[in-house]
């Protein structure tokens, strides 16, 4: 399984999702390829936001080595599933889809139309966002194990 997590800048939510899913997959002995990207290019090459690093570390997950990159059309060929954090990310990724097969790979990480809020402007959101993503990643592991 090859999974891509996508948010806006690839420094808050999607690196958390990448780190959490890698951690859970490793615990189950799954050899999944997991990566993350942003729809924007502002943080290409940058490490995750220090608040994301801190909350992940608090839960025993190290994401400090990750670096931001921008989502590209090639990602549709490279990944089986593409999970986005919010509806804006969903629309941005779908705009790059080349086919119906590409579009079918894309879905919100949380069930239904629920979005993972962007914690960038509110320090207090990082822990709740971590918990939302963790539960979604647990569900993903269970449904694909």
> What residues are annotated to the active site?
7, 13, 118
Q: Please, what's the b/e burial string for 17-55 (b: 16 or more CB within 10 A of its CB; e: otherwise)?
A: bbbbbbbbbeeeeeebebbbbbbbeebeeebbbebbbbb
Helix (H, G, I), strand (E, B) or coil at 61: coil
3 backbone dihedrals φ, ψ, rounded to 5°:
-125, 135
């Amino acid at each position: 399984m090859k999974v891509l997590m996508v948010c806006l800048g690839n420094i808050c939510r999607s690196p958390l999702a990448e780190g959490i899913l890698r951690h859970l997959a490793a615990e189950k002995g799954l050899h999944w390829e997991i990566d993350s990207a942003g729809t924007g290019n502002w943080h290409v090459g940058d490490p995750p936001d220090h608040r994301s690093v801190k909350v992940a570390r608090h839960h025993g997950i190290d994401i400090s080595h990750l670096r931001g990159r921008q989502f590209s059309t090639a990602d549709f060929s490279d990944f089986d599933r593409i999970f986005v954090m919010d509806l804006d990310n969903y629309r941005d990724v779908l705009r790059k889809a080349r086919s119906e097969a590409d579009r079918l790979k894309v879905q919100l990480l949380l069930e239904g139309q629920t979005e993972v809020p962007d914690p960038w402007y509110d320090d207090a959101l990082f822990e709740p966002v971590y918990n939302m993503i963790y539960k979604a990643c647990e569900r993903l592991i269970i449904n694909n194990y």
